[in-house]
Copies of this chain bind each other. A is one copy, B any other.
């Protein structure tokens, strides 16, 4: 995602109007590496703009995605997650806590070819597993008498 001032300019050029709600969403997303859900964006922006509605958040996120300034992560699970980092990169997804981490690996495009005649627009690479924190919790040091539940 562009820095907010330039992003605002881009939006205006695209014929969009700059509302305080949109600006607040932009500011929350800028530099955010949490890959928030729409709900999370809503909660955060709601603090400063108590009147904002979830529908507006969805609208703005859709708009940013259409402009190519935001990625929608297809990680499965209930809620969609959004990523203001649109440069090519991959993701690590912890199945226990849901945390998503950016990975800027060496080999973004694996040597896999699509079906004959198709057009490949994007290659999505997702590493799925347990993050360091959850690994510790999953396999706790066995102590006498204690058993995990």
Contacts and interface: CB of A to CB of B under 8 A. Distances in A.
Interface of A: 72-77, 80, 90, 92, 94-95, 101, 103, 105-132, 135
Contact of A105 (B75, B112, B126, B129): B112
A107 to B, nearest CB: 4
A128 B135 contact: no
Q: How many copies does the complex hold?
A: 2
Nearest to A73: B76
Contacts of A72: 76
A118 B104 CA distance: 16
Nearest to A80: B76
B126 A130 contact: no
Given A118-B132, A122-B128, A103 B95 contact: no
20 contacts: A72-B76, A73-B76, A74-B75, A76-B80, A92-B115, A95-B121, A103-B113, A106-B111, A107-B110, A108-B112, A110-B110, A110-B125, A114-B129, A115-B131, A115-B132, A121-B130, A122-B129, A123-B128, A124-B128, A126-B126
A143 to B, nearest CB: 22
A14 to B, nearest CB: 22
Contact of A76 (B74, B107, B116, B119): B74
A112 B107 CA distance: 6
